[in-house]
Each structure stands twice: as C-alpha cells, then as structure tokens.
Amino acid sequence: MLKFSTREVDSEKIYMLSGISPYDEGGTAKALSKIQSRSSMLGIPIEIMMLKNKSPRNLSDLMKLFFRRKLVFFDKFKAIECKHLVIAHPQSLGYSHCLDILDGREFTWILALDSSFFCRASYNHYMKESSPCFRCLGDGLNFVEKYGCNDFPVMQDNDRNFQIALVGLAEMGKIGFLAQNNIQADIIRKHFGVGILIRVVGMEADFNLEIENNSKFEKKLIIFHANPLGAKGLGWTLELAKIMPDYKFLFPFDKSCLVGISTSLNMEFKPMTWNAGLKEAISEAEFVICPSLWSAPIEGALIKSIISGVKCLVVHNETAYPQEDPNMPVIKLPSNLEEAARAIRAIEVNFKHKDRNLWLEKYLENSKKFTSNIYDAVMNDA
C-alpha cells in the first residue's frame, strides 16, 4: 500500500527527496533505485521520499503508484524538519517547492544529476553549437532571454528564479553539492565560488551486465545510443550521417521525434530500449556513438556502450566525463563534422582497446561505492 509519512523523522537517517520515484523510467529513477537497493543491502539508513503535494497528480498516477507501492511521501514540513536531507532532481519537485524547503532549512545537500544548478535547460548546450554552453555560469542567467532557453525537462511556474536563488543560498552556507565526478565539481566551484561545500560521490551503474567482446559485427554500421536531444548530440549525428552516405546509421527511436529536421537514405529509425532490442543491435554493430555535447557527468548509455564491446565513439568535450579519465576505452572524435568523418574512416576494422576490460572492472567496482559515499559525505559533514 502507499505510505504517507505521519511518523516522526529519524535524526540518524538520510532522507533523499525527489519528484521522481525509484520505480519510474529514466536516469534519475535508476540512480534512486540503486541507492534504495544498495542502502537496503548494506544496512545504510537512507530513505527515498517523494513530495506529498506533487504525487499522485491524477487517477493514472495514483494507479501507477499503487501497483508500484513501497513509496513514502513527505510534506514540506517534514522535509524542513528532518536533520539530513538530500534533494535529487529539483526540477521534478518543482522549483518553488524546492526553494520553500531550502529556505526553511539550515543546510541541505543537492545531488548534482545535471547542470540545472546554473542552466535553465538542465543540459548546458545551445542547439546551434557542438560544445557545452557556459554563458550563464556565474552570470545570473543573463543570456536566457537572448537565446530563448526554456525550463527542461519540466516547465516551472514559480516567480523566483531558481538558479539565481541558489547563489544566494550558497552564499549563506545553506546548500552543498554531491557531484558525480571531479569535472562536475570544478564547474560547481566556478559557479558558486571556492567556498561551496562539494563532495564527489560517483554514480552507480544502473545494471548488472557481463563484460562482452563482439567478434562478429556489421561493418560500417553506427548506432546512436542516447536520448533524442540536441544536447545528447542528435543533430550533430544526423549531420554526420549525411556526409557519410556509405555508412548506415541506426537511431533507436521513432522518426516522429524529429520535427523539421531532414534525413538521408542511410538513416534507419527503429524504436528500441536496452532490454528490447537495443543491446543486441549494438552488439552486432561496428560502432556505437554517444556524442553528448553538454557537460555530461557519468552517463549510463556510455557505460553500457563500453560494456557491449563495440568501438565506442564520443565527441571531444573538455567538460564531459570521458575527459576526466584518459584511460577510458572510447574513441574521441573532433567536433568538426568533416574531421570526425575522416577520423571514423581511419579507424582499423579490428581496433580494440587493450585495457578495456581492466578499466570496466575498476569502474564497476568503484561505482558500487556510490551509496556509501553519499552516506559518508552527508554524515561526516553534519
């Protein structure tokens, strides 16, 4: 049954509050699911909460939550009252609700899942460019109206500007950040100043897979592995396909996702998910491409692609996760399309990263510390 929090809050427990549940779809839900299962396995007192006045929103939501069950809801008063609070994905909570909670508390941690701490669009990328956008970093969103940036992935209805309000809260020492990697921590520091409290906790892989090695594959087949968003490199990859007509490009979503964008004959669009066709398709391809153009921290699609054993392509990006680890078994392409096409053609058919398995074993082992790292960071700085 659905549980609503009527009991007293536990001062020895960490409450993680989000507008997304561990039973939903998407990267945030998978991260929360891992925290929930790992904390239960290790006996770590972390509880995932949802905001009572955010869900369920309608009968459909109520039925979905009923069948998924095991969810506990906080109201804002409980969120303000508890001693240890981590907010995950403030967009889904609603910025106005989130700010009410942050204002009312002495200190709150924010789990940095994207760039929403300085970017209204969450993924800091401007659609006409092939690199991350930092126009609003430390600059109070002065470029938002000029560039037409909108709230993403959830439109907000609050009058207060969330990103600007966070700067004020940081100056008062009321917030700290749990970052996924050192590059993301550096971006947070550049935005809020060197005095901001940051702990790097990593991110656990949202799957349990055997490391694979593909020995047979379809030559000149490139599979796009990301959500159909400009920040994830969709437009960039579509343009790459147009100048490589002798290569086949497979996009795992319906063509209807493209609005006002032209395609070419060497593109195939086929709705797939990792567990429904995509894993098998990638294992039979010569290349998989994960071309994030924003300051992506640790992305599940990238790790899955590396695990698949396929030659994994990324776009060179100074603030994305592959830049942090020079040993990551990926092939970095120039952001210039013509140069990227030439680089792909120059890759030997039998190319393999010799230390790929060693890198993956180390990554997967370290990623298991994600939940315990959160607990240690919150409790040690309490």
Dump pLDDT digits (tens) for 97-126. Answer: 899 999 999 999 999 999 999 999 999 999
Q: Distance (Å, rounded) from C-alpha 19 to C-alpha 17?
A: 7
Instruction: Give me the phi and psi of 314, to 5 degrees please.
Output: -135, 165
In this prediction, residue 3 carries a pLDDT of 43
**Co-location of 50 and 192 in the same domain:** yes
Tokens of 287: 């290349």
In this prediction, residue 246 carries a pLDDT of 96
In this prediction, residue 143 carries a pLDDT of 79
* Percentage with pLDDT > 70 across the chain: 88
Tokens of 129: 């460019």
pTM of the model: 0.90
CATH of the domain at 13: 3.40.50
**Co-location of 362 and 348 in the same domain:** yes
Instruction: Give me the phi and psi of 183, to 5 degrees please.
Output: -65, -45
| Residue-number span of the structural domain to which 98 is assigned | 3-205+368-380
Tokens of 69: 């069950």
Dump pLDDT digits (tens) for 23-51. Answer: 888 889 889 999 999 999 999 999 998 87
DSSP 340: H
pLDDT at 333 over 90: yes
**Co-location of 10 and 51 in the same domain:** yes
In this prediction, residue 293 carries a pLDDT of 97
In this prediction, residue 353 carries a pLDDT of 80
**Co-location of 193 and 222 in the same domain:** no
Closest C-alpha to 17, from 67, 72, 69? 72
**Co-location of 191 and 315 in the same domain:** no
Dump pLDDT digits (tens) for 232-269. Answer: 999 999 999 999 999 999 999 999 888 888 899 999 99
Q: How many domains does the chain have?
A: 2
Q: Distance (Å, rounded) from C-alpha 71 to C-alpha 334?
A: 45
**Co-location of 373 and 362 in the same domain:** no
Dump pLDDT digits (tens) for 118-161. Answer: 999 999 999 889 999 999 998 777 778 777 888 888 888 765 68
CATH of the domain at 353: 3.40.50.2000
In this prediction, residue 66 carries a pLDDT of 53
Dump pLDDT digits (tens) for 290-328. Answer: 999 999 998 889 999 998 888 999 999 999 999 998 899
Dump pLDDT digits (tens) for 206-231. Answer: 655 565 665 567 889 999 999 999 99
In this prediction, residue 52 carries a pLDDT of 58
In this prediction, residue 259 carries a pLDDT of 80
Residue 4: pLDDT band with limits 50, 70, 90: very low
**Co-location of 224 and 128 in the same domain:** no
Q: What is the mean pLDDT of residues 80-101?
A: 92
**Co-location of 46 and 136 in the same domain:** yes
DSSP 131: S
pLDDT at 371 over 70: yes
Q: What is the mean pLDDT of the chain?
A: 87
Tokens of 99: 């700010």
User: What single-letter amino acid sits at 226?
Assistant: A
Least confident of 271-275, 349-353, 374-378: 349-353
**Co-location of 71 and 177 in the same domain:** yes
Q: What is the mean pLDDT of residues 63-90?
A: 75
Those residues whose C-beta lies under 8 Å from the C-beta of residue 330, and which sit 6 or more positions away, are 290, 302, 306, 312, 313, 314, 322
Residue 23 belongs to a domain: yes
In this prediction, residue 257 carries a pLDDT of 87
**Co-location of 226 and 166 in the same domain:** no
The more confidently predicted of residues 214 and 89 is: 89
pLDDT at 17 over 90: yes
**Co-location of 90 and 70 in the same domain:** yes
Residue 212 belongs to a domain: no
Q: Helix 27-42 vs helix 370-380: angle between axes, to the nearest 10 degrees?
A: 80
**Co-location of 54 and 166 in the same domain:** yes
Residue 14 belongs to a domain: yes
Residue 346: pLDDT band with limits 50, 70, 90: very high
